[in-house]
Chain A
Amino acid sequence: KAGVTQTPRYLIKTRGQQVTLSCSPISGHRSVSWYQQTPGQGLQFLFEYFSETQRNKGNFPGRFSGRQFSNSRSEMNVSTLELGDSALYLCASSSPTGETQYFGPGTRLLVL
């Protein structure tokens, strides 16, 4: 069974631009969570989607948004990029029982 996939793997943007990241969960997984990981703040939860609905949201500004499609694929968008948005963005899908999250390889975003 294929794992969680994320595209693109690497991205360089400049301040003020916007970016869209994509995540395809493991087949059969309907829950997708997004995380931001930085050396200083560690792993921080952004939001979770289940059946196209946002189920939980972390403490991030409104510039960070997401959505989920009917095939469970998810996208997250960051508008008006800031230097501090440089991070590894991780997507994780949850098994149908919800017991375990499986992470994708991440998208490394660099904002210049």
Chain B
Amino acid sequence: DAKTTQPPSMDCAEGRAANLPCNHSTISGNEYVYWYRQIHSQGPQYIIHGLKNNETNEMASLIITEDRKSSTLILPHATLRDTAVYYCIVRAVNSGSARQLTFGSGTQLTVLP
């Protein structure tokens, strides 16, 4: 799987949009971008994923650049409960190691009141 680079920490004011960047310059054509988050000592929570088009669901939006070398996860109205470590992963879905996820260090997002 391609390596990702994320800032170690970010702060966001409650009610504002949180924009979390991720660089994945070595991404391959068949690799998707996935985002998970993990609140302290809980299991990781799936947020969203995409291949090349922008995606939106009830939790967040995912913006992938045209060259696919970077992406941004957007939480439109951050709440205190969004404080967590956010992991950006790239992986090929249909590969032998597709279900062997590896998380990097992630970004610690702190939502401030």
Contacts and interface: CB of A to CB of B under 8 A. Distances in A.
Contacts of A100: 34, 46, 49
Interface residues of B, number: 22
Contacts, number: 59
Given A33-B99, A98-B94, A98-B99, A108 B41 contact: yes
Nearest to B95: A98
B42 A106 contact: yes
A37 to B, nearest CB: 8
A contact face: mostly helix, strand, loop, or mixed:
strand
B101 A35 contact: yes
Contacts of B97: 56
A103 B49 contact: no
Contact of A103 (B44, B94, B100): B44
